[in-house]
Amino acid sequence: MTRPANLRVASVVLAAGLCTGMPAPAQQPQPDAVLELLRQIQDRYRAQDWAAAVPLLERIVEINPHVADFWHSLGMARSRMREHRGAIAALEKALELGAGSASNNVAYEIARNYGFLGEKGPALEWLQRALESGFRRRENIRGDAAFTLLHGDATYQALAMPVDTASMSRAEGWAYDISFLELEVGRLHYDPFRKVSKAVFESEARRLREEAAGLTDNQIIVRLMALLSMIGDGHTGCFPDLVPAWSQTVPVQFEIFREGLFIVAAEPGSADFVGVQVLRFGAHPWEQVIEKLSPLISKDNSQGVLRSAPSFLRYPQILNGLGLQAESDRLQMTIRAADGEEQSVTVAAAPTDPEFNRISGHPRWVTAYQDAPGPVPLYLKDRRTFYWFEHLAQKKTVYFQFNSVSNDPEEPIDRFIDRLFEFIDQNEVQTLVIDMRWNNGGNTLLLPPLLRALASDRAVTRLGHLFVIVGRYTYSAAMNAATFLEGQTEAILVGEPTPSSPNYVGESNIIGLPYSQTRVSISDLFWQSSWPFDQRTWVAPLLPIPPSFEAYKAKRDPALEAILDSRPAD
């Protein structure tokens, strides 16, 4: 994605262009003038006014030629103006300086500009360089008008890999998908063979390719799950919700507690199952089923099983593919009701409701806690809104539930953080609780406003006054947030260990397999949110409090209770 120069990099401009011994323009601009220039660039870029943006960007690279993002933005703006030769020069300079965060995309843009110029040799050279450096979307090449002149070239065919899957037999199609997946794992993944050897991975891929003709589709997909899980990171995998053929699931929500496996919610037609404990699937104890699922679950550590197994259980196709049941359109379970009575029941699969969320469930489903007396506890009150807070005046505490590292269009995260801390500063607040137990991630680049606010000298940022609740669903960008908060603030962590380590390979990078249209993710980034020598399996809470079904059903929150019990009442 093209990123315009913005005011955030003003400090870089001042440091690199105004405060170094490097050559500078004859007349050194004043900082205020540079900031104003950056503001104008940002405005013109957002408006896609390329004709106005280009001279402004040419001015900023003249003032400060040391910032890769400035050259990148200039190259992209020139490209939009069809100034292809000038675009190439600027983009090559961006690559020379590190290209910000998008070196493979920069190489691709250079290839496009050469394509529009009609220069086949450089276009192919830069296209190959883009793919070798991890350009994500090979399918984009095939539909890009910049490369029309290359369509008959054998090198282009090898790079773009156009394929007519309609003419393939089923066996040929699956074999092609497996080979394509193997190729893209090696090309895209950050470090694919750090946990499994290349020889073992290739051997398993070859075995699956050879056996695919004799397997059902469910069996093949389950084997693909196991193959990608071998790579050993939670973001690289074949996930059931990305399998087009698996559009039906059982309309219940499972969850694992310290007491066992329970159904915590269901659509109204299956309300009789809500709150029951699941003992067996068919003849298989639920613990054995989880053991069978574990090799299929892409994970960074064992918490990943607790995080993903409940959602996997909603897919009868997986149990069928594992050979645990003959049917792929229903689940047969033995359940135990609250009164201790056990019975065998069957739950039929139905089209997956798009409103269902693997963490927060469905807004109109029946829940296991809804009939308990008292208000809905804060941690279950609103798990869908990205971020919100509530003042617990008697405890001089603000409870901030942080559910997604994303921007709410109505109130971007930086504005929300400003409002949150303005409230804290204007009221008698001694404690801040940040609840991230449901936060599945988002965009790590949105975290700095929160980190800056917590770096200030406030009562709520001191030891014993800042608490962070984490758990099995604190994932991806939220995992980074937990690591930052643990390492850079005085926060006390409460809850469960996180499902990733402080430093980990992980990024959602979705590609489609050409024949089956099954989508998979191949991680291509490494996140070092802690020290380079930090080898911990997870970020462990100082105060461990695992989820309890008894507490859940009774509308209690032991994690928050433990924090508030340590706070003096007003």
**pLDDT tens-digit series, residues 140-169:** 999 899 999 999 899 999 999 999 999 999
Whether residue 512 lies inside any domain: the answer is: no
3-class secondary structure for 495-564?
A: ECCCCCCCEEECCCCEEECCCCCCEEECCCCEEECCCCCCCCCCCCCCEECCCCHHHHHCCCCHHHHHHH
Look at residue 17 in the predicted model and tell me its pLDDT.
44
Between CA 149 and CA 368 the distance in angstroms is: 61
Which residue in this structure is represented by tokens 């009442």?
569
The DSSP element (H or E) to which 199 belongs, if any, is: helix 198-211
Q: Flag whether 142 is in a domain.
A: yes
Q: Which two tokens stand for residue 229?
A: 């899980």
Residue-level pLDDT at 566: 81
Taking the C-alpha atoms of residue 240 and residue 250, their distance in angstroms, rounded to an integer, is 13
**Do 131 and 228 belong together in one domain?**
no
> What six digits make up the tokens of 318?
């997986």
Tokens of 248: 């039906």
* Rounded average pLDDT per 10-residue block, the chain, 570 residues: 42 43 60 92 95 96 93 96 97 89 84 97 96 92 93 93 94 98 97 97 98 98 99 98 97 98 98 98 98 98 98 99 98 96 97 97 97 97 98 97 98 98 96 98 97 91 96 98 97 98 96 97 96 97 98 98 78
214/340 same-domain check? yes
- Shared domain check, 78 and 171: no
Assigned domain for 508 exists? no
440, 435, 433, 560: which is closest to 500 by C-alpha? 440
CA angle at residue 159 from 153 to 160, to 5 degrees? Answer: 85
Q: How far apart are CA 526 and CA 504, in angstroms?
A: 6
Of 129, 160, 191, which one is at a domain's C-terminal end? 160
**pLDDT at position 28:** 74
d(CA 251, CA 353): 8
Side chain identity at residue 232, one-letter code: G
Domain shared by 350 and 434, yes or no: no
Alpha-carbon gap, residue 540 to 498, rounded angstroms = 7
Last residue of one domain, picked from the residues 116, 138, 160: 160
**Residues in Cβ contact with 284 at an 8 Å cutoff, skipping those fewer than 6 apart:** 292, 324
Does residue 409 sit in helix, strand or coil? coil
Same domain, 148 and 292: no
How far apart CA 275 and CA 338 sit, in angstroms, is 8
* Confidence at residue 43, expressed as pLDDT on a 0 to 100 scale: 95
Tokens coding 242: 């990305």
The CATH number of the domain holding residue 95 is 1.25.40.10
Residue 234: DSSP 8-state:
T
- Is there a domain that residue 4 lies in? no
Tell me: do 89 and 210 sit in the same domain: no
Q: Examine the domain organization and report whether 350 and 436 are in the same domain.
A: no
Q: Is position 188 within any domain? A: yes
User: Which residues partner with 453 through β-bridges?
Assistant: none
Question: Per the domain annotation, does 525 fall within a domain?
Answer: no
User: Residue 22 burial by CB count (10 A; 0-12/13-18/19+): exposed, middle or buried?
Assistant: exposed
- Asked if residue 267 and residue 350 are part of one domain, the reply reads yes
One-letter amino acid of 407: N
Which residue, 368, 393, 414, sits at the end of a domain? 368
Closest CA to 181 of 241, 224, 239: 224
Residue 351: inside a domain: yes
340 and 193 in a common domain:
yes
Q: Residue 278 is part of which domain span? A: 166-368
Residue at 354 is within a domain:
yes
- Token digits for 161? 């890999």
Q: Retrieve residue 70's tokens.
A: 């400035």
Domain tally, the chain:
3
413: domain CATH number is 3.90.226.10
Indicate whether 391 and 349 sit together in one domain.
no
- Tokens 């309309």 correspond to 251
Bridge partners (DSSP) of residue 432 are 398, 466
Task: Read off the CATH number of the domain in which 211 is found.
Answer: 2.30.42.10
Nearest to 192 by CA among 509, 530, 499: 509
DSSP state of 258: T
Indicate if 444 and 363 belong to the same structural domain.
no
Q: Domain check: are 36 and 77 in the same one?
A: yes
CA 65 vs CA 70, 86, 399: distances in Å: 8, 15, 46
Q: Which amino acid is at 417?
A: I
Give the HSE-up count for residue 297: Cα atoms under 13 Å, Cβ half-sphere. Answer: 22
Bridge-partner residues for 521, per DSSP? Answer: 237, 510
